[in-house]
Amino acid sequence: MFLSMGNIAVTAKIGMLFIDFEPPHRLRMQGTASLVREGPVLAGYPGANIVASVTVDHVWMNCPRYIHPMRAISTSPHIPDTSGYATPALWKRIDVMQDILSAADAAAAREAGLITEQDYAALLAEGAVDGDG
């Protein structure tokens, strides 16, 4: 995500693809983005450090031919709640990753319980969704 925000800061041009799996629809969008780092817009997204505000230049429907039909089962645990808390990503709980995380992410990982690289590999092999475990 931070690479995307860096690209927006440098070029401001973006392209996005929105996919709806039930029923299958695809929408493409091109626009010009700016970064919002403070104020009421940012405050409207608990847990966010930055928000991209987009002026849409072009929108068009895109062929849904290769979209597999799927149905939503549950909401991702990584969507922040109203206080801004979101379940830490599983990879952030790997013990050797702690020195590259922000202090807040490292604290959340410790609270959720650190794991080894081997634990991480085993959880992925079992089909754990990032954040599960």
Reported as a single tens digit per residue, the pLDDT across 124-133 is: 898 876 655 4
Give domain status of residue 104, yes or no.
yes
pLDDT at 129: 65
Give domain status of residue 119, yes or no.
yes
Residue 48 makes CB contacts below 8 A (sequence gap 6+) with 42, 80, 84
Give domain status of residue 26, yes or no.
yes
CB-CB contact of 103 with 111 (8 Å): no
| Mean predicted confidence (pLDDT) in 41-66 | 91
Maximum mean pLDDT: which of 3-7, 99-103, 124-128: 99-103
Of 62, 80, 108, which residue sits at a domain end?
A: 62
CB-CB contact of 35 with 49 (8 Å): no
Whether 12 has a pLDDT exceeding 80, the answer reads: yes
pLDDT at 103: 93
Is residue 51 located within the same domain as residue 10? yes
Q: State how many domains the chain has.
A: 2
| Mean predicted confidence (pLDDT) in 62-90 | 84
Give domain status of residue 56, yes or no.
yes
pTM over 0.75: no
Is residue 12 located within the same domain as residue 58? yes
With pLDDT > 70 as the criterion, what percentage of the chain qualifies? 95
Its domain, for residue 113, covers 90-125
